[in-house]
Amino acid sequence: MTPAMFRKLALSMPGAVESSHQAHPDFRANGKVFASLGYPDGDHASLKLTPAQQEAEMAEYPDIFRPAAGAWGQRGYTVVALKPATVIKLSRAMAAARANVEPKKGR
């Protein structure tokens, strides 16, 4: 997967828009970041997953997914290695990250 392919997949999520923070392109829905490109470097991206989602993705595709460093990774933030990733392998995780920024019901 290339950065352009990651961008296209992120922007295909419902309500997604591209923005940036800390000099990295990010993808938001409902004003919240669900994916970033270029973290920690140009060969990687990141997704906002839950710890359980992160664990499931790492178990299935250990060559693609790993926790972000430190406390962020413990909270589910997940680094994606772009080169071994494919749209098929990344679609479920991207959709989960997008769903994770939905407003909580009752608010």
For 65-76, what is each residue's pLDDT tens digit?
Answer: 999 999 999 999
Alpha-carbon gap, residue 9 to 11, rounded angstroms:
5
Q: Is residue 107 assigned to a domain?
A: no
> How many structural domains compose the chain?
1
Q: Is residue 106 assigned to a domain?
A: no
Q: Provide the 8-state DSSP code for 68.
A: P
pLDDT in tens, 16-56: 999 998 788 999 999 999 999 998 899 999 999 999 999 99
Q: Is residue 25 assigned to a domain?
A: yes
Q: Is residue 84 assigned to a domain?
A: yes
Q: Is residue 105 assigned to a domain?
A: no
Q: Supply the range of the domain harboring residue 27.
A: 3-99
Alpha-carbon distance values, 88 to 6, 19, 61, 94 (Å): 12, 24, 12, 10
CATH number (domain holding residue 48): 3.90.1150.30
Q: Is residue 104 assigned to a domain?
A: no
Q: Is residue 73 assigned to a domain?
A: yes
Alpha-carbon gap, residue 1 to 5, rounded angstroms:
6
Structure tokens at 36: 């970033």
